[in-house]
Each structure stands twice: as C-alpha cells, then as structure tokens.
C-alpha cells in the first residue's frame, strides 16, 4: 500500500476535528491517558481522557484555537487545541481567571457574546499557556 500524507487545510471541518482528535489522543497516550470520543457533546465535552492512575478523568472540548466561552464556566471542562505541532490542554476556568485579571471580562464582546477566541496565541497569554503545553 502506498500512503500519501493529507493536506490538513484541504480537509472539511468534520475531517479536521477527527484529525485533531487523533493527534491529541496520540500525544495523551504518551502520558498514560486513553481517550473516548463522544458522539455528542456530553456536559460540554467532545471526548473524555482517562488516566491509568484510575483517578483522573478529564472532560475535554476540542477547539481549533485558544478559546474562552461562558458556556464552559464551572463545568470542569478542559480545552484542547493544536497550534502547528504544539498541543495545549488547559483548564478553562483557570485561564478565565487570567483573562479576567487582564480586564477581558470588562469588554463589550465578553459581556454581550460571552466568547473570545484567537487564531494565534496572544503574546500576553504565552507564559500562562506554557504550563499547559503537552510536549
């Protein structure tokens, strides 16, 4: 069989989500996690990641970029996104505290729409997100 690598940008949005799920699952496996893809969002999660310690279970929402959304507040959701070869997995509520501390919660967009997302990580968030980088 002759394998040919795909071009990510040519995939449709559903294919991109599946691709990202597989990439993230592979990386999480290196850290003792098994993932379970959910057919429908369950309590805000696209998939679950269960650790081999038998104690840790993460509810993960897969995104294409750094995202903050009021609908995930206080639900124990982790957000995961890829930026190039880097994969970030962060506790949504923890990053909200950083966002609020920088005055983001005072913006019109947050007050009216309750969502923020950035195509690239803003410089002011780089140091905060480093601890959420899955190497």
Whether 101 maps to a domain, the answer reads yes
Task: Give 67-80 pLDDT, tens digit per residue.
Answer: 999 999 999 999 99
pLDDT score of 106: 77
Strand pairing partners for 58? 49
Task: Give 112-131 pLDDT, tens digit per residue.
Answer: 999 988 889 988 888 889 99
The answer to whether 17 and 37 have CB atoms below 8 angstroms apart is no
Whether 25 maps to a domain, the answer reads yes
Whether 2 maps to a domain, the answer reads no
Whether 80 maps to a domain, the answer reads yes
Range of the domain at 13: 8-134
Assign residue 37 the CATH number of its domain: 3.40.1350
> What are the Cα distances from residue 11, in Å, to 14, 31, 45, 87?
8, 28, 23, 19
Structural domains in the chain (count): 1
Whether 3 maps to a domain, the answer reads no
Whether 124 maps to a domain, the answer reads yes
């Amino acid at each position: 069989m002759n394998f040919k690598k795909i071009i990510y940008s040519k995939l449709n949005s559903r294919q991109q989500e599946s691709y990202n799920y597989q990439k993230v699952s592979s990386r999480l496996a290196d850290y003792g996690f098994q993932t379970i893809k959910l057919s429908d969002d369950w309590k805000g999660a696209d998939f679950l990641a269960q650790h081999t310690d038998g104690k840790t279970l993460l509810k993960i929402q897969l995104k294409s970029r750094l995202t903050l959304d009021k609908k995930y507040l206080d639900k124990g959701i982790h957000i995961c996104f890829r930026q190039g070869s880097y994969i970030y997995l962060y506790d949504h509520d923890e990053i909200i505290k950083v966002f609020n501390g920088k005055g983001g919660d005072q913006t019109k967009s947050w007050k009216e729409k309750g969502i923020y997302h950035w195509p690239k990580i803003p410089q002011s968030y780089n140091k905060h997100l480093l601890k959420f980088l899955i190497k």
